[in-house]
A = this chain, B = another copy of it.
Amino acid sequence: MTTIKDIAKAAGVSITTVSRALNGYSDVNEKTRQKIIEIAKQLNYSPNTLARGLVMNKSKTIGLLVSGLTRESAKDNFTFEVLAGVNQYVSEVDYDMVLFSTTSTKQREKTYTQLCRERRVDGAILQGIRVDDPYLQEVVESDIPCVLIDIPIKSETVGYVTTDNVLGAKKAAQHLLALGHRHIAMVNGYEYAFVSEQRFKGFREALLEAGIFLNEQWVVNGAFQEEKAEREALRLLQQHPEITAFFCASDLMALGVMKAAKKLGKRIPEEIAVIGYDDIILASYATPPLSTIAQNKFAMGYEAAKLLIEMLEGKAHSHVKILETELKIRESTVKNQ
């Protein structure tokens, strides 16, 4: 493989000149530069980023740390879209992305921090990592610049991007309220998940502002799982037939709730209205199509990458980026829209 040394020899100049010419420095004769570029092309030269990274002490690589990169996670296409967004920005600014996942059987024989340090990534984006992940703390406290998705931690080297979950949930609840629903249940995610907490807050606010009593018994956790949500909804519907609407903290859970309603022979949306959160692909293909609060997952990835690289280059104004959500009204809440 050609090196700048080969080029230098062929051009009859020193390797320094070649380096400078190829890197667009101004202090090199334009004629020499042209000649060098020409020869580089002829010799089919590709710079060795390993060598460059070694000497410059940065790799122009960012790590994307995700957990649960399984077949299962294809259902909610969250991880994938975030990844696509990250990749998009990263390639626009000529960085590369290496993927670290912790699903594997080797199950974290190395910590996130080690992974990052060994590869000498300049920074990392963390997605789908649970707040109680023991290694999250470690990487956040390390000196590796990080951007977290949906985890609100901020420091000198750490930023995050999230959506306005309080407002999103509020919009969902207000939509149901506007449709006349007064007996609204909520299927939330985990107790300790940041987004769950926020979405519950928004839900509560909406009810409060509408002067509706919030029945705590009607708020259950579905662990973001379709089956669990289905079971919980089934129970709820049987015990409390007065419920007419569900707000779910994820679309996958909303699909589970719809299944439960169908099992009980309840028509959607006439007898039970259901609204989800996320706008996964399945939402618009469900029967009936699922109303939801759409998060722009691609944009989340894109903005995370943008924020991280701005941080790396010292031009980040803020370390926090909050994106908007959008209410998508489909037939699971309104007939014949």
Contacts and interface: CB of A to CB of B under 8 A. Distances in A.
Given A1-B117, A54-B50, A120-B50, A106 B91 contact: yes
A98 interface: yes
- This protein's copies in its complex: 2
Given A50-B59, A51-B54, A117-B1, A103 B75 contact: no
Contacts of A75: 281
A97 B98 CA distance: 6
Interface residues of A, number: 50
Contacts of A88: 69, 101, 103-104
Interface string A20-63: 00000000000000000000000000111111011000010100
A84 B70 contact: yes
A1 B142 CA distance: 12
A81 B91 contact: no
Given A54-B50, A281-B281, A286-B285, A91 B87 contact: no
Contacts of A98: 61, 96-99
Contacts of A73: 84
A119 B91 contact: no
A135 interface: no
A46 B117 contact: yes
Given A77-B80, A87-B99, A94-B106, 13 more contacts: A46-B117, A48-B54, A50-B59, A50-B120, A54-B54, A69-B84, A74-B281, A84-B101, A88-B101, A91-B104, A92-B106, A98-B99, A255-B285
Interface of A: 1, 46-51, 53-54, 59, 61, 69-71, 73-75, 77, 79-81, 83-84, 87-88, 91-92, 94, 96-101, 103-106, 114, 117-120, 255, 281-282, 285-287, 298
